[in-house]
C-alpha cells in the first residue's frame, strides 16, 4: 500500500481523471452520473473507492488522478472518519489545488452527526475547496457536478492559462475575506 502521488504517471491527451473517495457507494454513483451527464469538451474518466490506500496489485493499470474528491456525509460520523484516515495516504502535492471536499446531507441540521464547522476547518487546514450538496435535489447535484468538472479540467491542465496552483490562492483569498 503506497500513498497516491499526482505526478508519478504521465497524463493522457485531452483526458481528465477524477477519483471519488467516500464511504457510501450510492453517493459516489450519484455524483459520478451527474458528472457524466454534463456536456464536456474532454474525455472524463471517473474512478471510485471507499477509502485510501488503493491496492498495490493494480498500480500498473491505474491512471494518473488529476483530482481527488472526498465525499463526507454529514449524517454519518463513519464517513468523516474514513476521509480522515484516507487523507494520510495522499501525497502532499495533491493539496496544491487537486483536492476537493464535498459535504452532503446538510439540509437538516438536526439530523447531522458531523458539524459543518468541522468539515470547514478540515478544508481550511488543507486549503481546499468545500462544496455543499444535497443529493436529494437533482439541480444541486448537477450544480456540484459542474463545479467539480470545471475544477477537474483545471487540475488536468486542460484550461489554457490556468493551473491547479492558481486555485489555492483563490481559496486563501476567500478565507481571508471570510475572516474579516
Lowest mean pLDDT among 45-54, 79-88, 127-136, 144-153: 127-136
Give 95's strand partners: none
In a domain, 5, yes or no: no
In a domain, 110, yes or no: yes
pTM confidence score = 0.90
Question: Which of 136, 132, 171, 160 has its CA nearest to residue 148?
Answer: 132
| Cβ–Cβ < 8 Å for 145, 100 | no
In a domain, 101, yes or no: yes
| Grid cell listed for 123 | 478544508
Confidence bin at 2 (pLDDT 50/70/90): low
| pLDDT computed for residue 51 by the predictor | 96
In a domain, 1, yes or no: no
pLDDT at position 172 over 50: no
In a domain, 8, yes or no: no
In a domain, 6, yes or no: no
**Percent of the chain residues past pLDDT 70, beyond the cut:** 91
**Looking at the 3D structure of the chain, how many domains does it have?**
1
CA dist., res. 125 & res. 101, Å (int): 12
pLDDT at position 165 over 50: yes
Q: Look up the CATH number of the domain holding residue 68.
A: 3.40.50.300
In a domain, 69, yes or no: yes
Per-residue pLDDT of 22-59, as tens digits, reads: 999 999 999 999 999 999 999 999 999 999 999 888 88
The Cα angle at residue 136 between residues 132 and 141, in degrees rounded to 5 = 50
In a domain, 10, yes or no: no
115 to 27, 28, 82, 122, 131: CA distances (angstroms): 19, 21, 16, 11, 15
Give the largest Cα separation in the chain, rounded.
49
| pLDDT computed for residue 140 by the predictor | 93
Confidence bin at 179 (pLDDT 50/70/90): very low
- Give the domain range for residue 130: 15-179
Confidence bin at 87 (pLDDT 50/70/90): very high
Per-residue pLDDT of 94-125, as tens digits, reads: 988 899 999 998 777 677 899 999 999 999 99
pLDDT at position 173 over 50: no
CA dist., res. 68 & res. 18, Å (int): 6
Amino acid at each position: 500500500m503506497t500513498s497516491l502521488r499526482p505526478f508519478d504517471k504521465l497524463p493522457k491527451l485531452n483526458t481528465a481523471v477524477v477519483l471519488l473517495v467516500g464511504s457510501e457507494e450510492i453517493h459516489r454513483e450519484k455524483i459520478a452520473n451527474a458528472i457524466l451527464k454534463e456536456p464536456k469538451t474532454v474525455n472524463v474518466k471517473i474512478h471510485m473507492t471507499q477509502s485510501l490506500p488503493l491496492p498495490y496489485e493494480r498500480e500498473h493499470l491505474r491512471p494518473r488522478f488529476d483530482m481527488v474528491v472526498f465525499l463526507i456525509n454529514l449524517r454519518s460520523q463513519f464517513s468523516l472518519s474514513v476521509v480522515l484516515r484516507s487523507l494520510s495516504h495522499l501525497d502532499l502535492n495533491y493539496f496544491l489545488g487537486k483536492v476537493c471536499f464535498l459535504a452532503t446531507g446538510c439540509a437538516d441540521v438536526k439530523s447531522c452527526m458531523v458539524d459543518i464547522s468541522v468539515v470547514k476547518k478540515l478544508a481550511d487546514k488543507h486549503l481546499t475547496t468545500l462544496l455543499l450538496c444535497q443529493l436529494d435535489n437533482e439541480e444541486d447535484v448537477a450544480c456540484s457536478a459542474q463545479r467539480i468538472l470545471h475544477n477537474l479540467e483545471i487540475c488536468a491542465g486542460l484550461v489554457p492559462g490556468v493551473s491547479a496552483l492558481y486555485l489555492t490562492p483563490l481559496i486563501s483569498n476567500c478565507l481571508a475575506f471570510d475572516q474579516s
